[in-house]
Structure 1
Amino acid sequence: MRKHLHTTAEPVYARQQQPSPKLGEFQVTLQAWLNTEQHLPRAQRRTAQRLFEGLQVEGYRGAYDSVQRFVKQWKSVKNGPTTTQAFVPLVFASGDACQFDWSHEHVEIDGVPQTIKVAHFRLAYSRQMFVAAYPRETQEMVFDAHNRAFAFFGGVPQRIIYDNLKAVVEAILVGKERRFNRRFMAMANHYLFEPVACTPASGWEKGQIENQVGNVREWLFTPMARFASFAALNDWLALRCRELSQREHPTERTQSIAEHFAREQPLLRAFSATFDGYLEQMLRASSTCLVRVDRNRYSVPAE
């Protein structure tokens, strides 16, 4: 700077490589991790942040930026240059919208490794999230997930944004027109919220929840979570959602997500009773007192 203050020529920034003196001795470890994890499924690979935290355990005292640059350079050499799409960020009013999505995760329940479904909710204004785990993705579980989420939030937003999942949308018509599932609409009318279905293959219309799916997989399900039952897993997930809300808000850096949620919560619509999401159907009992439900047989009283 002192040199260029005494000249009229335009300064030229000539440095071609960012030095990383503190990362130097840890580069071998970091590269070994990257080489090992490139053969794992994408969901099980650590991000630059998780690699940085791992290096801190090994004794690294440098900055995260050095690790991030190293990982980015390693990926560019390995995969070649990539193009990035640009999007206009969406802005939501307080109490207005919530986004919903499913993800599949790998956990161990009562000693048995299995793939489960996780329901994700995210209030678009405050970024407060809620997740709940289920063995499958049936309509009854969609209803139960909404009951749990509204109880966790202490109210109902005006709109909820969905993919075109079958439990919600029966038919995709022209443009934004949809024919919603009648049973699902009964729940929407019970809680008085407006369902909104995204355009097919347009994940950016609910980009917050798409981003949350990847973050939750990294934060909560890597390495594999192990619990005795689904009840214990869901209790832990609700606790972690409250803990993660202490992080800083992504746009208002001076405040936490919890502080934003405290302002948004009074604007959510209150409800007095949860929706009963059971499905009722007439069944014939066999001569051995069994009924068949969802490809399973259950015994019933002989009388």
Structure 2
Amino acid sequence: MTESEKMEVRRMYQEGVSISELSRRTGHDRKTIRKVVQEQEDGKKPLSGTKRKGSKLESYKPYVEQRMRFGVLNAERILREIREQGYTGGITVLREFMHPLRPVVSAKATRRFETGPGEQAQIDLGAFPYIDTEGNRRTLWCFAMVLSYSRMLYLEFIKASDQLHILQALRNALEFFEGVPKTILSDNCAPLVLSNDGHGHVDWQPVYLDFAKYYGFVPKACKPYRSRTKGKIERPIRYIRDSFWPTAFVDLAEVN
């Protein structure tokens, strides 16, 4: 084992990775790993009478468990939070601790569908609850539009999820992109869709249909209960929610 490998083994051991796990990761037997972690940094004198330090994560585990119970499952976000509290360890030991606590999710494979430049954009709306300065529970809505080919993204927080606010945000997005895609794929939210039989026939809200004709795009809706059809736009909403929310802000302009 090289000196750099030994240093890496010692580092991971100090972060709480077990002898058995280190053996599995490096391919060396446990006896060799144990000898490495017991040596002093000069690699000559064994550490006598010393005990292994506890994991740097130990005192933060209750906080991590609490955050996960509240639905915060992003390790990078939790790492930022506990580092603000004084945690000095790495993300590897945090992920290993979080892994068995995560809910088991099984999903069917979804075929990836790609489009050419200018062919398609996808839009979505996500709810972002917060507590105002008077202690009242309120909600902002994040409108998102992504160009399917380039993945160029537009986000705008709006006060309501009604048709007026959605179409205003969509108009702002088209102006931001300085162009209009051939089709815009959405889910089946009531401000845009009256009904969708799941077999290709969609009854659109008349105002949205007029909006589409004016700007020159074809509206399309994903099949009911198949939101993964527009997976390109689902990921940015999830990323904003996991990594940046909740956040402190004064007004809508500041959060945008």
Fold match (TM-score > 0.5) = yes
Aligned counterparts of 2:172 and 2:243: Cα–Cα separation in 1: 21
Cα RMSD between the aligned structures?
2.9
Q: CA deviation at 1:200?
A: 0.3
Secondary structure (helix, strand or coil) at the match of 1:31 reads helix
Instruction: Please show how residues 132-147 of structure 1 align to structure 2 within 5 Å.
Output: 132-147=156-171
Output the amino acid matched with 1:150: L
Cα pair 2:212 2:218 within 8 Å, conserved: yes
Does 2:100 align with 1:100? no
Does 2:26 align with 1:26? no
> Mean alpha-carbon deviation: is it higher for 193-202 or for 65-74?
65-74
| Relative contact order higher in (CA < 8 Å, ≥ 6 apart) | 1
> 1:257-279 deviations in whole A, cap 9, x for unaligned?
xxxxxxxxxxxxxxxxxxxxxxx
Distance verdict in 2 for CA 1:170–1:150, change over 3 Å: same
Output the amino acid matched with 1:165: C
Output the amino acid matched with 2:180: V
Instruction: Please show how residues 27-176 of structure 1 align to structure 2 within 5 Å.
Output: 27-40=57-70, 42=71, 45-57=72-84, 58-60=86-88, 62=90, 64-75=91-102, 82-107=105-130, 114-173=138-197, 175-176=199-200
Cα pair 2:121 2:183 within 8 Å, conserved: yes
Output the amino acid matched with 1:86: A
Tell me the matched-pair count.
210
Aligned counterparts of 1:153 and 1:138: Cα–Cα separation in 2: 23
Does 2:241 align with 1:217? yes
Output the amino acid matched with 2:88: Y
Secondary structure (helix, strand or coil) at the match of 2:146 reads strand
Identity fraction in percent: 20
Q: Which residue of 1 aligns with 2:41?
A: none
> 1:197-239 deviations in whole A, cap 9, x for unaligned?
11000011001222222111123323x3322x32333xxx3xx
TM-score by length of 1: 0.60
Q: CA deviation at 1:145?
A: 0.8
Q: Which residue of 2 aligns with 1:226?
A: 249
Aligned counterparts of 2:59 and 2:147: Cα–Cα separation in 1: 39
Which stretches in structure 1 are left out of the alignment for 5+ residues? 2-14, 238-303
Aligned counterparts of 2:197 and 2:154: Cα–Cα separation in 1: 31
Cα pair 2:57 2:87 within 8 Å, conserved: no
Secondary structure (helix, strand or coil) at the match of 1:195 reads strand
Distance verdict in 2 for CA 1:90–1:26, change over 3 Å: farther
Distance verdict in 2 for CA 1:126–1:69, change over 3 Å: farther
Cα pair 1:100 1:209 within 8 Å, conserved: yes
Secondary structure (helix, strand or coil) at the match of 2:125 reads strand
Secondary structure (helix, strand or coil) at the match of 1:157 reads coil
Aligned counterparts of 1:231 and 1:52: Cα–Cα separation in 2: 29
TM-score by length of 2: 0.70
Output the amino acid matched with 1:35: E
